[in-house]
Structure 1
Amino acid sequence: MKKHRKPATMLVAGAGALCLTLSGCAGAGSLGASDQTITIAMVSNSQMQDAQKLASQFEEENPDIDLKFVTLSENQARAKITASTATGGGEFDVVMISNYETPQWAQYGWLKNLSEYAQATEGYDEADFIPTLRESLSYDGSMYSVPFYGESSFLMYRKDLFEQAGITLSEKPTWTEVAAAAKQLDSEDMAGICLRGKPGWGELLAPLDTVINTFGGRWFDEDWNAQLTSPEVERAVQFYVDLVREYGEPGAATSGFGECATQLAQGQVAMWYDSTSAVSTLEDPSSSAVVGKIGYAPAPIEVKDNSGWLYSWALGIPESSENPDAAWKFISWMTDKQYIRTVGEDLGWERVPPGSRLSTYEIPEYKEASAAYGPLTLEAIENATPEAPTVQPVPYTGVQFLAIPEFQDLGTRVSQQISAAIAGQQTVPEALAQAQQYAEVVGATYREER
């Protein structure tokens, strides 16, 4: 595993400044009278909302532990959790983070070693986590967060509309095929495709980076020279921007995962390329008007043969937590095999958090419910290539992100430029020229260290 640098002083100072601007950042005594109240910072996605609905079961089993949830949108959660954890404020006992933050924060000493807890918890079975995911959440051989769910990316499309239009996708579709289908299916009543355009390193850049990778582009060459104005990157970004501007959803520059999920679930778009976790919305009759009408295909490719990303929303314990043992009790409940069965039996098998445990894919009820997408999800996660994400060699790892501390800021700045191009406020070359300047500053710091 590549080592991560210590975070720059600016990152920690910036996090502290951010903490002052957000409600709830606090010092000692903010958790209330009970020393067994644990505060959990979570992203407000559908699977996490299900966990909150079921949390009363945990409290019944553990009457000495009270749960306090803080739920935020993805961009807000990343900012607030980073601020709190980096400054050691002790605001949260459990934080929802990803395989981007986990290895870095483990190296900085910000997180508890959860392998020690897992191995002391009877029946927890740490080895049951999908190997690529387990590795991505580890540092020096130990897990510092455990996956609530794991995801890759794939193409979701309306089978009925494709059949009516006589469109057939290849077994491994190309982006050229996808663009042609989007053009054919686009109409006044229905967008041909939904793609994220909302700024954010974990919003717009998640799908776009996979397009850059498969088109042969990269952020930096092996010597940390920025490559965002290279022909390969410009071709990829121009393709993405043109596709979403010409055949994409209305308001694409402000659309993220949630907006696209709603649009496809309500029958307003014909295709969507995004996270495999979207199935919990699309296949749930209570939230979707297109249940059973969605087909699933691998992440589209162009030059690079495999372009699916690897991501996990996982749970970790900050070193600053005053109640780490109680925090682990909750984490182990929410990420255990039994929780997965509870979701399936109480809420429906289509709402099971996917992509975390191998054993999930052996549950008969889940195998039946997920026949259209379960095997593809598992295959995509197992075949993701974060150690070799691009066609040409690179000095970083990560498919839809760069596993370097600066990427939170760099990625967000670059995404803002490209989102502005999607909004028609500037051209793609203009956006990439500015993005190149941002990347050159980061690349220079790595060259200086050599």
Structure 2
Amino acid sequence: MAWQAKSGVSRRTVLKAAAGLAAVGPLGSLATKVQAQGSFNWRKYAGTTLRILVNRVTPCELVGQRIPEFEAKTGIKVKAEFYPEELFRQKTVVEMTSGASDLDLFMTLIGNEGVKFYKSGWYEPIKRFVEDRTLADPAWDPGDITQGAWESQKVSDTLVSVPIEVGIHCMMSNKKLVEQAGIAPPKTLAELEAAAKKVTRKDAGIYGVALRGRRATSAGIYSNFLHNMGGEWLDKQGNPTINTPEAIAAFELYGRLIREYGSPGAVNHHFTEVNSLFMAGKVGFTIEGSVFATLYEDPEKSKVAGQVGYHMTPAGPGGNHPVVNGWGVAMYSRSTKKEAAWYFMQWASSKETLLELAVAGQGSPRASIWNHPRFRSATKAPKDWQETLLQSIKVGNPLFAPPVIPIAQVRDIIGDVIHVAIAGGNVKEAANKANDLMKKALAEAS
């Protein structure tokens, strides 16, 4: 999915932001080692066949669509299987739990499944591949990948995947509805509630907000409210803290926004339903992933193309800490073709591949791409989208879900509290119960 409406961001903004993001921290020495080598034989493993599981989310699909380029470059055959998000997660867990899979690679979102997969021994640590001069192309340049992007691909300080994009959660506004309501885009959570109230005209099918309400899937968007309210998923000892005053306030606000200013049936809404409502021009504000902007700006699918404002998430008493994460490509620990799999990972995170993803609307983990001549001349990403992403990366929080092993169970527990909040029930009581259930789940998984 490519951008449809062209708009640029100033060269000064990009240069300043890229400079701030370019520090590579602990990986700086790796860049020197890799760049020191000579020619690289991309066809060393020609004739090998790799198997990869691909999630049908935009950045992963874009990499998947370019696989024929990798096959032509390397002579390696890739069997790519594409699945919708929920089915993808189920498929990945089932295959790796069996231990008998012929899987080599899979897409991963560390903030969601990282701890579970790491503790289960499913990730192959990749530092040794990065450091092996015989396996790394000098042009790959790991030092160009930002420190934040590298950190987003670590679990327990162990590097387990290569980044293919950097994404954020941000607030989108329907400029037309905002103007009709005579308001400015909200900068705080309190202002968001007031703005949603002014936009809402339920008799006309116009709603102030659209937020995910479907059980487990709502936890990720709720995390922005939690962190901005000053709450955390866990304390320093690893105990759940979803019943603190900050967490309860976040639950209550999230539920109230949906109940008072959202559309009917919101308790069943995932990002697909949220995006459909927003693109239909029926919603004033939504908080969603930055990757969906390409859909919003597609005039063939969206009635709000060219009329969307992009903003950082509204700040709360705890500041502004929007979700910042990024999809990566990981190697299955039981793969028998690890060296060939590493070639795929290099290609997927290369400057050439990620430049094409950036032009197509994905936030790039590579600092150089933000000021690459092709990106700057070809990108049609709105100026405020670019600026919002660059600003959010600096202050964001990667924990859009608790960093725990029983992640699926815990997300359901959190989603249950959100459902109580949407229904206008006793949130404090529900949060206390959920905190106990989460504590029990963690104990059983340890």
TM-score w.r.t. length of structure 2: 0.78
**Residue 205 (1) aligns with residue 219 (2):** yes
Alignment of 1:71-220 (within 5 A): 71-73=83-85, 75-100=86-111, 101-102=113-114, 105-106=117-118, 109-119=121-131, 120-138=136-154, 143-169=159-185, 173-187=187-201, 188-200=204-216, 203-220=217-234
How far residue 224 of structure 1 moved from its aligned partner, in angstroms, is: 5.2
**Residue 357 (1) aligns with residue 366 (2):** yes
Unpaired runs of at least 5, structure 1: 1-33, 387-397
Separation of aligned partners in 2, 1:223 and 1:145: 27
Aligned pairs, how many?
Answer: 391
Separation of aligned partners in 1, 2:291 and 2:178: 22
Separation of aligned partners in 2, 1:40 and 1:416: 33
**Residue 277 (1) aligns with residue 291 (2):** yes
DSSP-derived class of the 2:328 partner: strand
- 1:178-220 superposed Cα distances (whole Å, 9 cap, x missing partner): 11111111123222111111122xx211111221222233344
How far residue 291 of structure 1 moved from its aligned partner, in angstroms, is: 2.2
Separation of aligned partners in 1, 2:418 and 2:397: 25
Verify the 8 A CA contact 2:227 2:318 in the aligned structure 1: yes
How far residue 320 of structure 1 moved from its aligned partner, in angstroms, is: 1.0
How far residue 103 of structure 1 moved from its aligned partner, in angstroms, is: 6.2
Q: Who is 1:38 aligned against? A: 50
**Residue 238 (1) aligns with residue 249 (2):** no
How far residue 231 of structure 1 moved from its aligned partner, in angstroms, is: 3.0
DSSP-derived class of the 1:193 partner: strand
Separation of aligned partners in 1, 2:212 and 2:255: 10
Distance 1:290 1:109, change over 3 A: same
How far residue 111 of structure 1 moved from its aligned partner, in angstroms, is: 2.1
Verify the 8 A CA contact 1:46 1:281 in the aligned structure 2: no
**Residue 304 (1) aligns with residue 318 (2):** yes
Verify the 8 A CA contact 1:360 1:366 in the aligned structure 2: yes
Verify the 8 A CA contact 2:226 2:232 in the aligned structure 1: yes
How far residue 222 of structure 1 moved from its aligned partner, in angstroms, is: 4.4
**Residue 366 (1) aligns with residue 382 (2):** no
How far residue 248 of structure 1 moved from its aligned partner, in angstroms, is: 1.4
Unpaired runs of at least 5, structure 2: 1-45
How far residue 65 of structure 1 moved from its aligned partner, in angstroms, is: 1.0
How far residue 223 of structure 1 moved from its aligned partner, in angstroms, is: 5.0
Distance 1:51 1:251, change over 3 A: farther
Q: Which amino acid aligns with 1:117?
A: F
Verify the 8 A CA contact 1:107 1:139 in the aligned structure 2: no
Alignment of 1:409-420 (within 5 A): 409-419=409-419
Verify the 8 A CA contact 2:251 2:417 in the aligned structure 1: no
How far residue 311 of structure 1 moved from its aligned partner, in angstroms, is: 1.5
Q: Who is 2:307 aligned against? A: 293
Distance 1:263 1:355, change over 3 A: farther
Alignment of 1:315-334 (within 5 A): 315-334=329-348
Q: Who is 1:29 aligned against? A: none
Verify the 8 A CA contact 1:37 1:68 in the aligned structure 2: no
Q: Which amino acid aligns with 1:435?
A: A
Separation of aligned partners in 1, 2:155 and 2:242: 30
Distance 1:55 1:359, change over 3 A: same
Separation of aligned partners in 1, 2:403 and 2:222: 16
Q: Pick which of 405-414 and 136-145 moved more.
A: 136-145
How far residue 141 of structure 1 moved from its aligned partner, in angstroms, is: 6.0
Q: Who is 1:28 aligned against? A: none
DSSP-derived class of the 1:369 partner: coil
Q: Which amino acid aligns with 1:403?
A: P
Distance 1:262 1:179, change over 3 A: same
- State percent identity of aligned pairs: 23
Separation of aligned partners in 2, 1:364 and 1:178: 38
Verify the 8 A CA contact 1:148 1:314 in the aligned structure 2: yes
Distance 1:219 1:278, change over 3 A: same
Distance 1:224 1:53, change over 3 A: closer
Q: Who is 2:404 aligned against? A: 404
DSSP-derived class of the 2:110 partner: coil
Separation of aligned partners in 2, 1:186 and 1:108: 47
How far residue 113 of structure 1 moved from its aligned partner, in angstroms, is: 3.0
Distance 1:114 1:228, change over 3 A: closer
Separation of aligned partners in 2, 1:91 and 1:260: 36
Distance 1:49 1:380, change over 3 A: same
TM-score w.r.t. length of structure 1: 0.78
Q: Which amino acid aligns with 1:414?
A: I
Verify the 8 A CA contact 2:164 2:354 in the aligned structure 1: no
Verify the 8 A CA contact 1:46 1:280 in the aligned structure 2: no
Separation of aligned partners in 1, 2:346 and 2:298: 26
Verify the 8 A CA contact 1:111 1:318 in the aligned structure 2: yes
Separation of aligned partners in 2, 1:436 and 1:103: 19
Q: Which amino acid aligns with 1:81?
A: T
| Superposed CA RMSD | 2.9
DSSP-derived class of the 1:80 partner: helix
